[in-house]
Amino acid sequence: MAKQKPGKSRDQIKNSNQISSLSKRKSQDSIIDRKQKPPIPNEQKQAQLQVGQQFPLTIKRLGINGEGVGFFKKQAVFVPGALPGEVIVAEATKVNNNFTEAKIKKIREKSPHRVAPPCPVYEECGGCQLQHLDYREQLREKWDIVVQAFERHTKFKIEDLDIRETIGMEHPWGYRNKSQLQVGRNDRKVLAGLYGINSHKLVDISNCMIQHPSTNKTTQVVKQILEELNIPIYNERKRTGLVRTIVTRVGFQSGQIQLVLVTAKRELPKMDKLIAEIKKRLPDVHSIIQNINGEKTSLVFGNETIHLEGEEVIQETLGDFSFELSARAFFQLNPIQTVKLYDEVKKAAGLTGCEKIVDAYCGVGTIGLWLAKGAAEIRGMDTIGESIEDARENAARHHIENATYVVGKAEYWLPKWEKEGWKPDVIIVDPPRTGCDQKFLETVLRLKPKRMVYVSCNPSTLAKDIQFLSKVYKVNYIQPVDMFPHTSHVECVIGMQRKDT
């Protein structure tokens, strides 16, 4: 796939002095995380906005959640749907001591990058945040979100960092391989969708633009079957009914579809007729599963899973590797971009075939498998036992004999292995959105492997962790990757090496 360029290259930006100007904005424009605002002096508090007040606002940049950010009397204002460069009339909807939330009343000067979102329920749904922004500009803005994080949370000079252009998709639609839609019913029909922004109204989604077409089709047909058979639909408020969620997943390479019906109880009325109709109308459905979740919770899956029909797993392929996906197994949601992401990890690791690698937060071992052929040895760990079992099975299936996987935290295993005489040359880490555990970071600085590769889904926690690691490591480069087009999310791969190497 060709890379999408989000605007000017880094060298071009340097030549036009734009990077040097970033530091000048730091005192004001980089305040984008509404949960971490500095206290406002008393004289500024006197100028606090009121709910319902309308005021002019120039949007400076995008915030970490994809909203427009402007400043009114030195106070940050967050406006969903507003774009950088636009001049709007805003109306305050929520006023806090350190920031204000507002909505657009009128756009006086429109961004040249504003486009009409193709999704008919875009403004109601909230699943995407940036469909109204041209895709090439989305990539540039995601680059800027990474810049903002390093401006705010580190002491680095932005002009000294090699923050590369965001790697995008050639066709940024229909990329998600998994759909989880809540089920409800109105007076006329069965609905399946997401709850609207700041509401408890279920928005029916008949054709999600970022979902693979097979998941959309499967969900719609299952809705029709549930309606025709009059199978009870779960009512969250009354806690009555049965079917709660329709989960569909497709293997991009295999074409196999897995359907999971999440129900409040184990008993599934008309189950034989239901399965027969699914097989008749959806011949590509390879696996039919029931999951029971009777709890009052926002979690989709419960602890009990029942295999109803077909295979228990579906097949998916990434590069040279094939994976068996069970109903609750974690797998990257965008297979096309995952290959690009893992290739960037391999590039950042700089392998020669002699390295001993630690794959921390390894999950089911996909990153370690991607690197195994270029390394002497891989050792991975994760606190979830089921993930480690899957990692071991994945390694065995692909005849990878230089990979070892254990249950537990890296801060336990790394010192233990060191005492046994084993020390890594490279550490790969792909932590959750909260970032790395502090004890893990301290362990890395004590062991001082030659190189480290950090894969992040949260620029803010990434920047904080990199600042801590900079005591020992220098940043070679930062590579943003757009895993979720039309949303505000951006992934990064950071290559680091010990300063004395």
In residues, how long is the chain? 501
Catalytic residue among 208, 362, 436, 457: 457
What is the maximal distance between C-alpha atoms in the chain?
70
Distance, CA of 23 to CA of 18 (rounded, Å):
9
Distance, CA of 430 to CA of 411 (rounded, Å):
15
Query: Token digits for 130?
Result: 């940036």
Task: Characterise 50 by phi-psi region: left (phi > 0), alpha (psi -120 to 50), beta (else).
Answer: beta
Distance, CA of 79 to CA of 340 (rounded, Å):
33
243: part of which helix (H) or strand (E)? strand 243-250
CB atoms within 10 A of CB 304: 11
Which of 334, 377, 323 lies closest to 485, judged by CA? Answer: 334
> CA–CA distance from 127 to each of 62, 221, 360 (Å)?
17, 22, 30
Distance, CA of 22 to CA of 42 (rounded, Å):
28
Question: With contact defined as beta carbons under 8 Å apart, do 385 and 394 qualify?
Answer: no
Which of 152, 125, 127 lies closest to 65, judged by CA? Answer: 127
Distance, CA of 107 to CA of 87 (rounded, Å):
6
443: part of which helix (H) or strand (E)? helix 438-447
Distance, CA of 367 to CA of 401 (rounded, Å):
15
Distance, CA of 457 to CA of 482 (rounded, Å):
10
Decide if 457 is catalytic.
yes
Strands 257-263 and 451-456: unpaired
Rg over alpha carbons for the chain, rounded to the nearest Å, is 24
Which of 333, 245, 255 lies closest to 291, judged by CA? Answer: 245
- Residues noted as catalytic: 457
